[in-house]
Amino acid sequence: MRAWVPTILRSLLLLVLIAFLVSPESFEPLLKPLVQPNAPAIYNQGSLLSLTLLHLRTVFIATLAATIIAVFLAILVTRPFGAEFLALSRSLVNIGQTFPPVAVLALAVPAVGFGEKPTLIALFLYGLLPIFENTLTALTNLPRSVMEAARGSGMTPFQRLIQVELPLSLPVIVAGIRLSVVISLATATIGSTVAAKTLGEVIIAGLQSNNLAFVLQGGLIVGALAVLIYDGLSAIEAMIARRTGAA
């Protein structure tokens, strides 16, 4: 019975989140005590559902781009012809961690303008490191016996990469993607400071009007999304690990 408790709680969280996004006015009595008299308890400057979907879209695009580049770099530096680029690749993927996202936004706005583009750049740079390091770790710690068997069977280097190395590395790669997504979900809120459509709009509106209910709504939606996506990717990672182990 205890094993089902986390699943039940996650399901309840998902249902509450969907209900709030579809019909936020139903939750007004719960949030009304947090606001001043005559102040709105539910965010009324846009659709929470629309902002949530746009927030998720921004995170998805940035994470997809970061995954493609980070995995490519990790594959490159683990090949004999690309090993000398390891230090350079590490320097590149560390850029996002060296500069705070706010600084990246400030530098990107003059180049690409306001809106979603500077936010995508910041999230892309910020998401490279965990995916790169996890992919690199996975590719350099594959079972030696499996790799020798693949070579002995006559597989070409490309065949070993596609049919052996990447499938065995996939659980660890997904773990890096999971970490990158959770970081990006929270970081994306600052995109609203440069006119990107994210849930940061709700939080900023609450801070500007001293409306605690707005701040709470934006923060809780982002938090709920992070928990649900983290758990979902963890389940996918575990499923892939079981299949890989069985294979």
pLDDT tens readout for residues 177-214: 999 999 999 999 999 888 889 999 999 999 998 999 99
- Can you give the residue range of the structural domain that contains 156? 48-246
Evaluate whether residue 162 is within a structural domain.
yes
Position 10 in a domain: no
pLDDT reading at 65 higher than 70: yes
Using alpha carbons, select from 221, 166, 212, 207 the residue that is nearest to residue 56.
221
Question: What is the pTM assigned to this prediction?
Answer: 0.91
Nearest CA to 188 out of 201, 176, 179 is that of 201
pLDDT tens readout for residues 128-154: 999 999 999 999 998 888 888 988 888
Domain tally for the chain? 1
Let me know if residue 233 belongs to a domain. Answer: yes
pLDDT in tens, 74-124: 999 999 888 888 888 888 888 877 878 888 888 888 888 888 899 999 999
In a domain, 125, yes or no: yes
In-domain check, residue 151: yes
Q: Could you count the other beta carbons within 10 Å of the beta carbon of residue 204?
A: 18
Q: Does 240 map to a domain? A: yes
The answer to the question of residue 149 being in a domain is yes
Is 226 within the bounds of a domain? yes
**Could you tell me the CATH number of the domain that includes residue 166?**
1.10.3720.10
